[in-house]
């Protein structure tokens, strides 16, 4: 069983590791993944061994809040909680800034010189105690609004699991304690101690950290905008026919089987099937396709799509959490809460990061003290090292990019189920395409019609379609559909007879009509001349199925039926090949038919006459040859191959987005989004690598500089204030870089 639990109180990657460790050691917990960006834990567990309250209790004991995930409006509560947190952070920063600015003025102006006006009663040399008490009064509110750094930081420290809050608490606490001792010395009659006050350092650090946290919270909120937009799409009410009367009800009260009215310009409230009326529906929120789709009786409609022109009535088939929109939201949320394998190194580092930083800070301070520097100098080094270290950037590097990337995919009709699938898609070297329903439309269509003698094409089509109307063969159905599309009325049929594998015969409008292959006409003794035979052979070479039509014992025409190539297939395959990917078409069709289709779309490698059960073996052969394989299919007969592939991509599965066999689900029923999905994967993984490089590089460079490396060779000593600003900038820069993915546009 799997459950997602919102968690309050996490601030950095160290918090993530602590929660994972606390929950992971429970008997019955099979896997736990905590996401700092979404502030949620996904736990797989055996409910026979461990219960959900025990998991939540473990989170609470670790020092964090396990929030309610079962309420009907849990998502709304989560959004409101985040909004309140952002408002609170901005309020705290405002209060801190209001007191920190005068604190800086009081502490720094005497050092700058007499050019800036300064109250005489605060002069540190003349009135040291007054000056010191003024700093205490100004720093107290700043420490007050930053109290959480101390309560959480020291609690984590006492639990031997220090976090970013611990670093801030130790650093600023050391400055405050050192300064408080100085105030005591001044009160005891040592006025020179006024030069050893560092209250402004603590105040500025807390203010800058609060500013960074506020910007970070806002940026984290923006990474989840795709989910918020999807949730806002869901209509709140529906017009339902009850007892013959139209009533407006909350969508939550709609049940399967209810008759729903959708008016022009209105939203479809639930998934259903049109029973009356015609309209064009904007399904861009589902598929990313901006062109409205015509709907008539029998056609499916989906919740939150928009009826543009007409009024329809539809029968509800899926409601609540079963609708396509709800499943999309669930899939995207699960993907955004997952981890990519590339994050493993950051996870391992974050587990020991804070204790190592504490040790480095202490060692650096002691080293300078032993080397002859003053206690104030050593304290400055100690604080700078603690404050500049940024475990937040490590924890945010991967999940923020995954959140934005998967959200952007959803906007384009591409549902990526996990961070692992996202990373694997980046590594794909070969794309295997199922032919039927993927490269082609998946159903036979009349492609060619030729008439001979005194017959016109419409006469041949009318007679053939009338005879085929009594047939259940899909090739016959294609001829019937073509006749209906041309507005030809079908005639009544007598004496229908079918010869399996050959053709059909019937009496239509007083004529004896036969339609079938050459062998069938030979059996009936109907002559097929050389020109007609040649035309049929040419159609076969194109991958089409020709059928001769004879009327009253004379050849009247030739029709051809084929599973036609989708309009977008050739361009999509060209885009894949332009990315350096090998494209393979897999089909159960005869080699000649498969080759003809492959030539139309530009595929070089074809594997034909493959049974559905053998498709997975063909994928495995490519993998054994060293390829990273993506399999693209319709997710039904192709399920074994989709599961075997490194990345399974189900195409055109808008009504079944929870398909278990696929890693990626494309909402549109064409190949267009396959290269887009791979391109998005590459861009997202590149963004993650950039974030990790910045996060690691920042800490690798920043910590030695804060420890005094430059000063050792005659350079400057890093101020704790500058260190705090750099730390805040690190987290915000990682988030800002991830948000660049929101500008992703697929290449042509």
Query: Which residues are marked as active site?
Result: 434
CA gap 340, 342 in Å, rounded: 5
Query: If DSSP states are collapsed to H, E and C, what string results for 397-425?
Result: HHHHHHHHHHHHHHHCCEEECCHHHHHHH
C-beta neighbour count of 272 within 10 angstroms: 28
φ, ψ at 506 (rounded to 5°): -165, 165
Asked whether 623 and 643 are in contact (CB, 8 A), the reply is no
> Residue 651 burial by CB count (10 A; 0-12/13-18/19+): exposed, middle or buried?
buried
φ, ψ at 320 (rounded to 5°): 60, -130
φ, ψ at 690 (rounded to 5°): -60, -45
Asked whether 667 and 288 are in contact (CB, 8 A), the reply is yes
CA gap 378, 369 in Å, rounded: 6
C-beta neighbour count of 49 within 10 angstroms: 12
For residue 466, give the nearest of 445, 488, 486 by alpha carbon. Answer: 488
H or E element in which residue 416 lies: strand 414-416
Beta bridge partners of 106: none
CA gap 76, 74 in Å, rounded: 5
Number of residues in the chain: 748
CA contacts within 13 A on the Cβ side of 610: 23
Mapped onto helix, strand or coil, the DSSP state of residue 457 is helix
Asked whether 232 and 337 are in contact (CB, 8 A), the reply is no
CA gap 329, 285 in Å, rounded: 12
Helical H segments across 486-601, by residue range: 518-524, 530-541, 569-578, 591-601
For residue 303, give the nearest of 260, 341, 342, 345 by alpha carbon. Answer: 260
């Amino acid at each position: 069983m799997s459950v997602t639990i919102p968690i309050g109180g996490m601030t950095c990657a160290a918090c993530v590791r602590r929660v994972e460790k606390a929950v992971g050691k429970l008997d019955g917990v099979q896997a736990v993944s905590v996401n700092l960006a979404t502030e949620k834990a996904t736990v797989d567990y055996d409910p026979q061994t461990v219960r959900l309250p025990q998991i939540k209790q473990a989170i609470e004991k670790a020092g964090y809040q396990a929030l309610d995930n079962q309420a009907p409006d849990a998502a709304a509560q989560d959004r409101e909680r985040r909004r309140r947190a952002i408002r609170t952070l901005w309020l705290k920063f405002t209060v801190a800034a209001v007191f920190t600015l005068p604190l800086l003025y009081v502490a720094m102006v005497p050092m700058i010189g007499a050019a800036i006006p300064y109250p005489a009663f605060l002069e540190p040399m003349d009135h040291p105690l007054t000056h010191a008490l003024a700093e205490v009064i100004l720093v107290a509110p700043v420490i007050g609004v930053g109290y959480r750094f101390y309560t959480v930081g020291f609690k984590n420290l006492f639990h031997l699991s220090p976090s970013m809050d611990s670093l801030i608490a130790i650093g600023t606490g050391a400055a405050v304690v050192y300064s408080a001792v100085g105030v005591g010395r001044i009160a005891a009659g040592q006025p020179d101690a006024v030069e050893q006050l560092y209250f402004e350092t603590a105040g500025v650090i807390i203010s800058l950290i609060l500013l960074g946290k506020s910007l970070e919270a806002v940026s984290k909120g923006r990474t989840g905008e795709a989910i918020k937009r999807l949730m806002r799409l869901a209509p709140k009410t529906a017009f339902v026919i009850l007892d013959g009367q139209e009533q407006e009800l909350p969508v939550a009260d709609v049940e399967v089987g209810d008759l729903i009215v959708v008016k022009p310009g209105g939203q479809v409230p639930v998934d259903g099937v049109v029973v009356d009326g015609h309209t064009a529906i904007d399904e861009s929120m589902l598929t990313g396709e901006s062109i409205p789709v015509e709907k008539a009786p029998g056609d499916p409609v989906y919740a939150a799509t928009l009826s543009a022109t007409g009024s329809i009535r539809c029968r509800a088939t899926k409601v609540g959490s079963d609708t396509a929109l709800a499943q999309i939201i669930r899939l995207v949320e699960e993907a955004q809460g997952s981890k990519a394998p590339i994050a493993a190194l950051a996870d391992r580092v974050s587990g020991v990061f804070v204790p190592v930083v504490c040790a480095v800070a202490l060692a650096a301070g002691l080293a300078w003290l032993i080397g002859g520097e003053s206690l104030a100098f050593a304290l400055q080094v100690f604080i700078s090292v603690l404050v500049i270290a940024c475990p937040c950037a490590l924890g945010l590097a991967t999940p923020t990019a995954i959140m934005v990337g998967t959200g952007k995919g959803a906007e384009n009709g591409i549902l990526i189920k996990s961070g692992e699938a996202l990373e694997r898609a980046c590594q794909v070297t070969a794309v295997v395409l199922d032919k039927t329903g993927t490269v082609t439309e998946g159903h036979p269509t009349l492609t060619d019609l030729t008439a001979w003698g005194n017959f016109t094409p419409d006469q041949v089509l009318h007679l053939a379609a009338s005879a085929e109307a009594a047939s259940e063969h899909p090739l016959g159905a294609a001829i019937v559909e073509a006749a209906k599309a041309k507005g030809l009325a079908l005639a009544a049929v007598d004496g229908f007879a079918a010869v399996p594998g050959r053709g059909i015969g019937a009496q239509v409008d007083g004529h004896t009509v036969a339609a079938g292959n050459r062998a069938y006409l030979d059996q009936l003794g109907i002559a097929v001349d050389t020109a007609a035979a040649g035309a049929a052979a040419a159609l076969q070479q194109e991958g089409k199925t020709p059928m001769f039509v004879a009327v009253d014992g004379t050849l009247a025409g030739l029709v051809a039926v084929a599973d036609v190539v989708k309009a977008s297939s050739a361009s999509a395959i060209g885009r894949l090949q332009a990315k350096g990917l090998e494209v393979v078409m897999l089909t159960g069709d005869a080699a000649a038919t498969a080759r003809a289709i492959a030539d139309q779309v530009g595929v070089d490698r074809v594997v034909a006459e493959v049974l559905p059960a053998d498709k997975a073996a063909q994928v495995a052969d490519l993998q054994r040859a060293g390829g990273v394989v993506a399999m693209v299919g319709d997710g039904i007969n192709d399920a074994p191959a989709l599961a075997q592939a490194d990345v399974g991509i189900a195409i055109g599965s808008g009504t079944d987005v929870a398909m278990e066999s696929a890693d990626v689900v494309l909402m549109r029923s064409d190949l267009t989004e396959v290269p887009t999905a791979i391109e998005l994967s590459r861009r997202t993984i590149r963004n993650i690598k950039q974030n990790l490089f910045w996060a690691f590089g920042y800490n690798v460079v920043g910590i030695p500089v804060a420890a005094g490396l430059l000063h050792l060779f005659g350079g400057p000593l890093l101020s704790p204030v500058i260190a705090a600003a750099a730390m805040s900038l690190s987290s915000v820069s990682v988030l800002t870089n991830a948000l660049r993915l929101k500008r992703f546009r697929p290449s042509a």
